[in-house]
Structure 1
């Protein structure tokens, strides 16, 4: 049996989103986050389908009408009705692998980033979507606690991650580094794990998810956040992370091509003043485009230019994510790609008890 973890640039069927509700932590910002998700959906739908999980059929009908007004082709939209706790599809969505030439979706445990937040409905969401007929491929449950934002792959057997997350005792306390690597090999066919010891963002609830810090753009290129302000409290740790990235080598011994991303001005919550985790590394790769989070900051243009060089064959599309960081995530955190061949042909049917 051969297995590999799909890189994000593998051809995709759809991007999965989970729509927020007035009962979630988004309640005070609901109009703002819905506007941002609308912009994300419109941008994705220019290239591929969008699978949107909603809490009820009324929301599905409202969004169907809304996206028709926004000019989104009905064929680009899929809806599923299922309950959720929050919107972070990157972490509660399935992780796709290729096994002997076919797609398999793996459903890992999600515990609200180590028990920080309620997550029972999010943890059950992938299984419920499978039951409602969203997926055209097998979905297999795993007992490992693992979030999609915690891992990056080159698609060639190498995985990039952080010690602060994958080795955190709030995730899988009985597993040491060797045991974690063994599970990654077993599930993903990974034979090299590149561990980063340094790097964090204030306001980040994820214990240093790699998708906030450093990302594969292709098998030889890594884009990463660089802090060039010596007065910023992130400066020392991110300089140490930069040195770690410079020391990494590809399988053939050559260094990675590194693409530094600029450091935006500090963003603070307008209510209580705590710092928010603004990062340009939280971009999303689509078929034919890259969606890039922006923050109405002078560094936005430099981030877009840097990623245009890293992705010369894709359109670079800015998405204002000032609303998203209010809940301590950004664009990539809201999304999960579903590779080609994984999505069913029709809308998912609500479970009987939800009708």
Structure 2
């Protein structure tokens, strides 16, 4: 991990911990609690084995028994919540001369699609409740609507994002693309914003968050979702996305190494609509990668690809079908913090 300069650290740098916002009967998970809580429990156990776990919840008495026990790595903070998509309501962390600085943005339910009045207050409330290390500052950008799932950092000055999300209506439509790019460069300490104009997943509510489509796995490597089935509705858009990825370059104008992730067989909700099964929505933690699987034949190949990308980390498969029933996956429900934050 870098110790000098100002930058947005990549997910693979050493972490102090991960935030999860816990589902309960007053969230959209109400009809799926029996399915989804075991997913959260598996993630919580894996995180606690390796680093701190910050749990935001409405009522800690509703947490499972193993999270009721004393654990120096476990931090629990109670407050009102709407739902549990921590990637998008949690703080982002930049490093300024080796010290972490929290950034608080406005979360408005992905362009006012869903209620988010309580989720928008989670980060300021955590700051007020001293959830973070003493002395870690928080800069308020609540006039700018933004979500953590919309960006990827390569730890070397490049930010990858999608125009479909950042230029969508009901987020920051009063700003031009160049104004948004300038804001991101300034606030995220980035030298280059890499825009993708193609790619989507049916059933995705986020307007094509980058973490469903393409992810940095090192400074020079991008893993991306590839569809080989010409009859699939995603084929053309993902083909164009790959072609655009091939044109992107880093700060030294060098192209990135591209590694294809398989495209999961279609997964459908009980009412028949397609839900967004993607292998790009993994979470990197200290010593491991929490990896979504969907009970389809591509799971095995996807795990092998991920192990090749992270040979020194344990790949932990997690059944994420319950998560995509609410149109997200592992990365969407979590937010990592680098050293010095928790």
C-alpha separation in 2, matches of 1:312 and 1:221: 14
**Does structure 2 conserve the Cα–Cα contact (< 8 Å) formed by 1:3 and 1:187?**
no
Deviations 1:307-333 (A, max 9, x none): 111111111111110000000000000
Deviations 1:47-72 (A, max 9, x none): 1111111102422xx43x2347xxx9
- The yes-or-no answer on 1:273 pairing with 2:276 is no
**Does structure 1 conserve the Cα–Cα contact (< 8 Å) formed by 2:191 and 2:251?**
no
C-alpha separation in 2, matches of 1:311 and 1:277: 24
- 1:188 aligns with 188
- 1:324 aligns with 323
**Does structure 2 conserve the Cα–Cα contact (< 8 Å) formed by 1:2 and 1:189?**
no
C-alpha separation in 2, matches of 1:53 and 1:189: 28
C-alpha separation in 2, matches of 1:313 and 1:255: 24
- What is the aligned counterpart of 1:58 among 57, 61, 67? 61
- 1:211 aligns with 211
Unaligned residue ranges in structure 1 (runs of 5+) = 344-355
Q: Secondary structure at the match of 1:103?
A: strand
- 2:259 aligns with 259
Aligned residues: 336
Q: Secondary structure at the match of 2:332?
A: helix
- The yes-or-no answer on 1:48 pairing with 2:45 is no
Q: Secondary structure at the match of 1:120?
A: coil
- 2:32 aligns with 29
- The yes-or-no answer on 1:177 pairing with 2:177 is yes
Q: Secondary structure at the match of 2:72?
A: helix
**Does structure 1 conserve the Cα–Cα contact (< 8 Å) formed by 2:81 and 2:119?**
yes
Q: Give, in angstroms, the shift of residue 252 of structure 1.
A: 2.6
- 2:248 aligns with 248
C-alpha separation in 1, matches of 2:166 and 2:272: 29
C-alpha separation in 2, matches of 1:256 and 1:240: 16
Q: Secondary structure at the match of 2:173?
A: coil
- 2:113 aligns with 116
- 2:98 aligns with 101
Q: Give, in angstroms, the shift of residue 135 of structure 1.
A: 0.7
- 2:11 aligns with 8
**Does structure 2 conserve the Cα–Cα contact (< 8 Å) formed by 1:108 and 1:141?**
yes
C-alpha separation in 2, matches of 1:182 and 1:248: 18
- 1:351 aligns with none
State TM-score, norm by structure 2: 0.95
Q: Give, in angstroms, the shift of residue 73 of structure 1.
A: 7.5
Alignment of 1:216-235 (within 5 A): 216-235=216-235
Q: Secondary structure at the match of 1:124?
A: helix
C-alpha separation in 2, matches of 1:227 and 1:186: 35
C-alpha separation in 2, matches of 1:24 and 1:309: 37
Q: Secondary structure at the match of 1:25?
A: coil
Q: Give, in angstroms, the shift of residue 2 of structure 1.
A: 4.9
C-alpha separation in 1, matches of 2:98 and 2:223: 29
Deviations 1:228-261 (A, max 9, x none): 1111000000011011111212233332111100
- What is the aligned counterpart of 1:91 among 54, 75, 88? 88
Which range moves more in the overlay, 50-59 or 14-23? 50-59
Unaligned residue ranges in structure 2 (runs of 5+) = none
**Does structure 2 conserve the Cα–Cα contact (< 8 Å) formed by 1:227 and 1:235?**
yes
- 2:197 aligns with 197
**Does structure 2 conserve the Cα–Cα contact (< 8 Å) formed by 1:13 and 1:49?**
yes
- 2:335 aligns with 336
